[in-house]
Amino acid sequence: MLVPQLIAVGIAAALLLRICPRSFRWIILLVANLGFYAMRSLSGLPFLLITICSTYAGGQMIRRFRETADQAKAGGDREERRRIKKQTERRCRGVVFAVLLINFGILAVLKYLDEILGLVGSEPLGLLHPLGISFYTFQSAGYLLDVAGGKCKAERNILRLALFLSYFPQLIQGPISRSAQLLPQLAEPETVSFEGMLKAFLRILWGLAKKLILADRAMPFVNAVFDGGQYGGKITVLAVLLYSLQQYCDFSGGIDMVLGLSELMGVRLSENFRQPYFAVTLADFWRRWHISLGNWMRDYVFYPFALSKPMTALSKKLKKWNVRLSRALPAALGNILVFFLVGLWHGATANYILWGLYNGIILALSTLIFRQEGRPTSPFTHLLCVLRTFVIVNIGWFFDRADSARTAFGMIAGIFTTWGNPVHAGLLSELGLSPADGGVLICGTLLLFVVSLLLERGVQVREKLVAFSFPIRWLMFLLLIFSVLIFGIWGSGFNEASFLYYKF
């Protein structure tokens, strides 16, 4: 019963925050964090505590190294100051490496060891997958790298750092937050106005509707086709289209719940989606999908790699032959590396690796071939670019959803070889898509498209709805609530395993 527990803990915390002095509110949030985590994953709590303690110790060591170096440099000459600076940076890098090795080592063992054992034919150990381990590991790494890079100061209070790393709404699916954006808010959450509470509840309901009405309704058909063999080209195309809908509504719906719940507690998390299926290029798509992970990869993998000494040396050599290539090649290789890692983050199997490389290579070729990412010059060209990007993304989804690379290639090939296979309502119903479910999916998708189009055009939909008169406003709230109650697929939606990104 993940969703009810998440919402119940969030609402209880929000009520306590309203009667608590602002300077003590962070303690309420910390208790809510640890309580929720213990309730959902008590056996995983030691791994969270290891990450908190190691990250705190690493941050304090870096702070002390820097303070000691500043004192030593005060009385030295230029050469001495340079020597102290190099020594300090070397020590800081050593600390960062050790802490990252601990935390990513734990993540790698728990996430991949069973998969690797299965691939080599050995019996899996059934290792624990602690709640939110990927997200709090990435967040802790970002914090430590920012401290080492001088972008933020090390948090001296270990309990405040624990609050930042274990903030319970974002443990399930993110977003991955930065310390500069989240730590100050958690220290003193703002008081939420009545209008703010309405907007927060509206976002939670919208997230529930996307998850329970659309994602979970599409799921049986998607599972039946992807897990059940070859059903013909038309069925395969419909399945991957519904998987696009399921994946987006599942992930973005969960994020809507998280962001709305956090708003209710006076903390604003960063947006994680921005109408990705309106993207005009693949690069544009990945700037709109799982934004926080993309930003993390950009800042801590892409830029360090593209600006590294080997890449700088390569760029200088190429500059004598081709200036544009000298600039584009490091970025192209960086894109391949980033998406290889993103694929590996999804799983250690060949289909995920190929999915990552598919995206990375297309982005690399785009970087090498096109001088710059231009915007479409006409509405018709814009529509064609959106459709082209949608097709490219959906081809990649075959590798993301299929249980193996062979299955993915077989399904793609089957679109062309079995396109003529007949499709009838009885077959769709057997695969889990009844006429009634199809009607709900069509109506819900049209509503989702209209809302997304308004957001894409800069319309603040929630603000507009909350601004309506009292009767109309509450009528819309009741309509949304009863739509979720009547049309929602109940049962699986409350199991954390039903969130697609929970397993990552």
What residue segments make up the domains of the chain, in order of their start? 2-191, 192-276+404-504, 281-374
DSSP secondary structure letter of residue 210: I
Q: How confident is the model at residue 301 (pLDDT cuts 50, 70, 90)?
A: very high
Please give the share of the chain, as a percent, with pLDDT higher than 70: 95
According to the model, what pLDDT value does residue 87 have?
Answer: 86
Least confident of 1-5, 93-97, 312-316, 330-334: 1-5
| Mean local confidence (pLDDT), 309-316 | 89
Sign of CA dihedral 63, 64, 66, 71: positive
- Reference 132, options 175, 90, 161; nearest CA is 175
| Mean local confidence (pLDDT), 471-484 | 87
According to the model, what pLDDT value does residue 493 have?
Answer: 43
Q: Is residue 73 predicted with pLDDT exceeding 70?
A: no
Q: How confident is the model at residue 126 (pLDDT cuts 50, 70, 90)?
A: confident
According to the model, what pLDDT value does residue 500 have?
Answer: 65
Q: In angstroms, rounded to a whole number, what is the distance separating the alpha carbons of residues 325 and 280? A: 24
Q: Is residue 273 predicted with pLDDT exceeding 90?
A: yes
State the pTM of this model.
0.91
- Reference 236, options 363, 106, 398, 110; nearest CA is 398
Yes or no: say if 360 and 336 are a contact pair by the CB < 8 Å rule: yes
Q: How confident is the model at residue 502 (pLDDT cuts 50, 70, 90)?
A: low
Q: Is residue 28 predicted with pLDDT exceeding 90?
A: yes
Q: Is residue 30 predicted with pLDDT exceeding 60?
A: yes
Q: Is residue 444 predicted with pLDDT exceeding 70?
A: yes
**271 vs 4, residue with greater confidence:** 271
Q: Which stretch, 114-118, 440-444, 462-466, has highest mean pLDDT?
A: 440-444
Q: How confident is the model at residue 373 (pLDDT cuts 50, 70, 90)?
A: low
Q: How confident is the model at residue 363 (pLDDT cuts 50, 70, 90)?
A: very high
Q: Is residue 495 predicted with pLDDT exceeding 60?
A: no
Q: In angstroms, rounded to a whole number, what is the distance separating the alpha carbons of residues 226 and 221? A: 9
Other Cβ atoms within 10 Å of 381 Cβ, number: 12
| Planar angle of CA 398, 403, 409, nearest 5 degrees | 45
Q: How confident is the model at residue 486 (pLDDT cuts 50, 70, 90)?
A: confident
According to the model, what pLDDT value does residue 250 have?
Answer: 93
According to the model, what pLDDT value does residue 128 have?
Answer: 82
Q: Is residue 90 predicted with pLDDT exceeding 60?
A: yes
According to the model, what pLDDT value does residue 76 have?
Answer: 63
| Mean local confidence (pLDDT), 52-59 | 96
Q: Tokens 């007949």 sit at which residue? A: 422
Q: In angstroms, rounded to a whole number, what is the distance separating the alpha carbons of residues 316 and 299? A: 23
Yes or no: say if 100 and 144 are a contact pair by the CB < 8 Å rule: yes
According to the model, what pLDDT value does residue 497 have?
Answer: 42
According to the model, what pLDDT value does residue 458 have?
Answer: 92
| Mean local confidence (pLDDT), 291-297 | 95
Q: In angstroms, rounded to a whole number, what is the distance separating the alpha carbons of residues 333 and 311? A: 9
Q: What is the average pLDDT value for the chain, to the nearest integer?
A: 89
**372 vs 56, residue with greater confidence:** 56
pLDDT (tens digit, 9 = 90+) per residue, 215-268? 999 999 999 999 887 788 899 999 999 999 999 999 999 999 999 999 999 999
Q: Is residue 485 predicted with pLDDT exceeding 50?
A: yes
Yes or no: say if 270 and 181 are a contact pair by the CB < 8 Å rule: yes
**173 vs 210, residue with greater confidence:** 210
pLDDT (tens digit, 9 = 90+) per residue, 132-165? 899 999 999 999 999 999 899 999 999 999 999 9
According to the model, what pLDDT value does residue 172 have?
Answer: 81
Q: Is residue 335 predicted with pLDDT exceeding 60?
A: yes
DSSP secondary structure letter of residue 213: I
| Mean local confidence (pLDDT), 450-474 | 89
